Every structure is written in structure tokens, then in C-alpha cells.
Amino acid sequence: MKDNTILRVVSKLLLPYVLLFALYVQFHGDYGPGGGFQAGVIFAAGFVLYGLVFSLDSVRRVAPARMVELVFATGVLVFAGTGVATMLMGGNFLEYGVLNEHNPSHGQHLGILVVELGVGMTVAAVMIAIYSAFAGRGRA
């Protein structure tokens, strides 16, 4: 599809907004519909669009396979690590209230934000990895 000017231009125009929207969904999830799962999927959809219109190699140049694998492991680690951090600070596993000793509800906010970030990283990276595994198989 690389030769199709309209597709190329339109997708290039759309891409920043797709990624921006994903970030908005990620960090605005406390207030409107959204959160890590949705944001991760939308973020990955942006990469998939890029891969479809340009090529898998261009996706791999932006997000090398090793980096994607690193990100999806880091995401799980961030989530579980938050739980361990709350335990070290004297609470239960994933009890975010202890993250801020003056105001537990602020601690909850922080915990939710971090955990959702972990989810978003894992989901986005796994989806990109799965897509590039399927797309790369055809040429091997």
C-alpha cells in the first residue's frame, strides 16, 4: 500500500492524533471512560496502521522487537512492583492508600495512575508484538 498517495498522506496525518488520543485515554481514565486496556489497544492500533500502510520494517525501526519485549515485561513489573511497594510501606499488596500518608485518597489516585500505566504498557506492547509476529511470518 506504500504507493497509494492518499492512504499514505491520510495515515501520516492521522497517526499523531491516534497516539495522542491513546495517551489521553490512558491518563484521563479516572475522569472519563478510559484506562490502560483501552489506551494500550488504541496505541497499538496506531502502530498497526503504520505497519499496514508503510511496512513492517518501518514499524520495527520505530519499535524494535527487543524494545517491545522489554516494554511488555516492564508493564507487568510496574503493576506487581506497585503492590510490592505498598507492602514495603506497611500496607497490603496493592493497597494504594499508604502511598500518601497524609491523604489516602491521593495515594489511591497515584496507585491507580501507576497501575493503569503498567497495564497500558503491557497491552500496547503485546498487541504490537503479536501483530509483528504474524506479519513477519509471511516473509520468513
Partner 1 sequence: MTDSILGLYNYWVVIFLMMTGFYIVIARGNLIKKVIGLNIFQTSVFLMYLTIGKVSGGTAPIVKEGFEVYSNPLPSVLILTAIVVGVATTAVALALVVRIREAYETIEEDEIEAGGDKP
Partner 2 sequence: MELSLEVELVTALLLTLLCCTAVAVVRMRGLFAAVMLMGIYSFLGASWMLLLDAPDVAFTEAAVGAGISSILMLAALSLTTRKAKRPTRSPLAPLLLVGITGAALAYGTFDMPRFGSADSPANSYPHPSYVERTEEDIHIPNVVTAVLASYRGYDTLGETVVIFTAGISVLILLRGSRKRWRNGAGAGASENSSEEETSDVPGDPGDPAAERQSRGEARGEADETARGVT
Does residue number 123 form part of the binding site for partner 1 (CB under 8 A)?
Answer: yes
Q: How far is the CB of 72 from partner 1 (least distance, A)?
A: 11
Does residue number 137 form part of the binding site for partner 1 (CB under 8 A)?
Answer: yes
3-class DSSP state of 101: coil
Q: Would you say 47 or 98 has its CB closer to partner 1?
A: 47
Q: Would you say 4 or 134 has its CB closer to partner 1?
A: 134
Does residue number 126 form part of the binding site for partner 2 (CB under 8 A)?
Answer: yes
Q: 60 in the Ramachandran plot: left (φ > 0), alpha (ψ -120 to 50) or beta?
A: alpha
Maximum CA extent, the chain: 59
**Which does residue 29 touch among partner 1, partner 2, none (CB within 5 to 8 A, set by kind)?**
partner 2
CA gap 49, 8 in Å, rounded? 10
Does residue number 109 form part of the binding site for partner 2 (CB under 8 A)?
Answer: yes
DSSP output for 25-61:
HHHTTTTSS--HHHHHHHHHHHHHHHHHHS-HHHHHH
Count interface residues toward partner 1 (CB under 8 A): 15
CB atoms under 10 Å from CB of 66, counted, come to 8
Stretch of residues binding partner 1 (CB under 8 A), selected from 28-36, 74-82, 88-96, 101-109: 28-36
Binding interface with partner 1 (CB under 8 A): 31-33, 35, 37-38, 40-41, 123, 126-127, 130, 133-134, 137
